Structure 1
Amino acid sequence: MRTVSSRENPLYKELKQLAGSSQARRKAGRTLLDGVHLCESYLQLRGAPLQCIVAEGALANPEVGAIVQRVEQARVHCTALPDALYKALSQVEHGVGIMFLIDTPTRAVPGVLRASAVLLDNLQDPGNVGSILRSAAAAGVTQVYCSSGTAFCWSPKVLRAAMGAHFVVEIYENVDLAALVRDAAIAVLATSGYATRRLYDLDLRQPVAWLFGHEGQGVADDLLALASDQVVIPHLGQIESLNVAACAAVCFFEQLRQNQSVETS
């Protein structure tokens, strides 16, 4: 393990850029995983990172020590930073003090949608995007397609909200959703507060693609027109609509419920 103590160090400068800029992360094709949970999930599901960065004050932590030992055994470079330099990188308040540098996956968009999927049209809140990824992974929906206006999935806030879902699902970004919907081999269901067909009246025992839109404006009109159906989640009370992440979770787990009821019948 080497120690970097200067803010002028080239590695530290690179890490600082990646920590603070989505543009830098997109350009480099790299991002930072901050915290024990994300690092452990990556090791378990994807393998060794490019580099491991640890705060000097965290080296005595047993969880951090175990991760450092695993990555060193895998011949991964580990770098220790003084606590002050590490905190300038980290966006996790009261974090433990370990992060991984990783490549962000790049995938070619499949020609035709055939498996259950999530389509995100211009969702801008990183917390919502991360929560949807987490719910999708938990419900067994493993393909996520994001329009160019959707929050960058490999940003720190999305990563924290998704809690490791990035390493379970396949994420495609800057996707032409209209072309994807137009050519889909499965039903594409768009959620809309103005729809008349209830979610619970649908047969979800076959693969479907779920289309969710902007937090305030919903799914764009051109995509709504292309969708196989528009659905609404019925609710009571004075609230106008559900948060998009909550809406997505209800949809995914209604699909899971229907499929599990078929398996047990």
Structure 2
Amino acid sequence: MAVFIAKELDMAGNVELVVGLIAPIGTNLERVSREISDFLEGAGYGVRLVRISDWFDISTDERRSLGGLKLFERLMNEGDELRRATQRKDVLAAVAVGQIMKARLNAEGRMAVIVRQFKTPEEIVSMQRIYGNRFLAVSCFSRRRCRVDELSRQLADQVSSIQSHQFRGDAESLIKRDEFDSLDEWGQNVRKAFPLSDIFVDVDSHQSFPNSLQRAMEIVFSHPFHTPTRDEFGMNQAEAAALRSSALGRQVGAVITTLGGDIISVGTNEVPRA
């Protein structure tokens, strides 16, 4: 399943498009990147992949020697320290912009850049401010159990072990820190970055994932015949209900629907009225 939040991209001329991925650690982003890349290439774009973590000054040999848990912790620490040193929670967005500029030097024709991956809400806000309607944020959902399994496998592979179950504790620790580092003001906060996206995809839905992501991308590129899904319609109604309150702190809407999408009840957060 993929849910699309209405947005019209600016595709005039040869300006670049930037697709930013947001995902908790352990999510299979290889598949997401591949599907988006295939679509954009079919739309006539040359696609570049930017990994923010590649910017950190950690050599290939050092990455190999660290391996497993220590490598993930080192990368997280590098990001935290950079945010702290610059006193900017969006500093890795600036890093991404620099990498995009380098990719642009060798580009011919229309270019699209897929950025892996953003970890704070401030980074998303900065990218939206810099690129406007040429930036598309994609949040990738994967169930915690699946992420623990995937991350345990990655940790085991990095130390050439086949006993992935031995790394589940390390995986749980990394996942908790990645979602929200409550011990560090300058830590990652995927939990608050996640809802700022334009497209939300369920990576675990192996059969429906490719088609639903393609549908969302086609809508971005102004496909004229896609209608809202039940989820998108319900979200729209809930957002409309939230606006019944004039107080920003109380603008919360909720909708209950049948499995077929028919609305059963609509609610909003508001003070009692006579």
**TM-score over 0.5 for the pair:** no
Structure holding more helix per residue: 2
**TM-score (norm: length of structure 2):** 0.25
Higher relative contact order (CA 8 A, sep 6+): 2
